Amino acid sequence: MEQKENCPVSDILRIYSGSSHPELAQEIADYLGCPLCCSETQRFSNDNLFVHLGESVRGKEVVIIQSFSPDVSDNILELLMMVDAAHSASAKTVHAVIPYYSYARSDKKDQPRISIAGRLIADLLVTAGVSHVMTLELHSPQVHGFFRVPTDHLTAHAAFVRYFRDRDLSNSVILAPDIGHAKRAAKLARALGVDVAAGDKERLTDDRVRVAGIIGTVENKDVIIFDDEIATGGSIVAIIELLRERGVRNITLACTHGVFSGNAIQRLSAIPEIKEIVTTNSVPIPAAKRLPHMTILSVAPVFGEAIRRNVLGQSVGALFAFWPDPDEATAFQPPFKDW
């Protein structure tokens, strides 16, 4: 511990970015006051990938940042190869930072003869040589238990609290689209001092859901729909139909992972009741998907602080997704550069 605290950052860390989200990787490196190391990824004529880490990692704490955004399979394979390269080159520790772990949706065997892919990918990461994983708000929290190495399941809770805290929320309610994610919504509601409600949702297909009803009072309220991710927007469309019937005309969407796949942006932009969309940069959001009323919060301080505390041997518990005290999640104020 003493040795780490007295070393310059450059003597401790080697931070690499995969191809999925170099902008976020640079923000994390900037937060830590550490350069982003160069790496090279090429594709051979036979479609095989080639990965090369551009600096020595022997005896270093290596951080590799890769979000599971499209093209997901290529990004996963690139991450596995980068991890294997660092492990084979005698890195002291290999930290895989995965802001969006898309296979967290595959957490159980709900059909015959299917793969529990969330566990499979976790096993592949360990086989490749990962020593430690950091990820953000898994769709299914039990996926945390799939990893056989220390895993920090982090939250963007503090970023949303800071964003909404200065608003007039006297007529607001936080709404979870389904009961399964009501715990996250309730945590945000407690921190903001507002009521919470939840939808009774059943998923029919990848892009179609049925919402049987809403538990809680939303009539004539300003509703903040809060979810871990928005992909196709099917859940949002279904629940807004019920909100219209209950006199709701002012809706804010808030989600950690703004995936916005397929025609989600077109579907959401066509709903006049949606006044604002608030998400994070856990996945890259191209210009074509950035609506005028969209706000993107950075999760770089969350990961930067988690990396800093891990390297210095300090507690990361206050940054965890299910830390019991909501005030603890907002206890750190960036930037931390007291190496």
Question: What are 25-65's pLDDT values in tens digits?
Answer: 999 999 999 999 999 999 999 999 999 999 999 999 999 99
List CB contacts of 42: < 8 A, sequence separation 6 or more.
Answer: 49, 50
Q: Assess whether pLDDT exceeds 60 at residue 1.
A: no
Q: What percent of the chain has pLDDT over 70?
A: 88
**DSSP letters of 271-319?**
-TTEEEEEEEBSS---GGG--TTEEEE--HHHHHHHHHHHHTT---GGG
Helix (H, G, I), strand (E, B) or coil at 35: coil
So what CATH class is 2-155+300-330? alpha beta
Angle at CA of residue 164, ends 158 and 166, nearest 5°: 115
Which residues participate in catalysis according to the annotation?
A: 201
User: Which DSSP symbol is given to 36?
Assistant: B
CA atoms within 13 A on the CB side of 131: 16
20-24, 106-110, 202-206, 267-271: which has the minimum mean pLDDT? 202-206
Name residue 62's beta-bridge partners. Answer: 14, 94
Give the type of residue at 71: D
Contact of 302 with 155, CB cutoff 8 Å? yes
Distance CA 23, CA 28 (A): 9
Distance CA 93, CA 215 (A): 46
So what CATH class is 158-297? alpha beta
Question: What are 311-326's pLDDT values in tens digits?
Answer: 988 889 888 877 665 4
Separation of first and last alpha carbons in the chain: 12
Q: Assess whether pLDDT exceeds 90 at residue 80.
A: yes
Q: Assess whether pLDDT exceeds 90 at residue 333.
A: no
Question: What are 235-286's pLDDT values in tens digits?
Answer: 898 899 889 988 999 999 999 999 999 999 999 999 999 999 999 999 999 9
Residues listed for the chain: 339
User: Which residue intervals of the chain bear CATH 3.40.50.2020?
Assistant: 2-155+300-330, 158-297
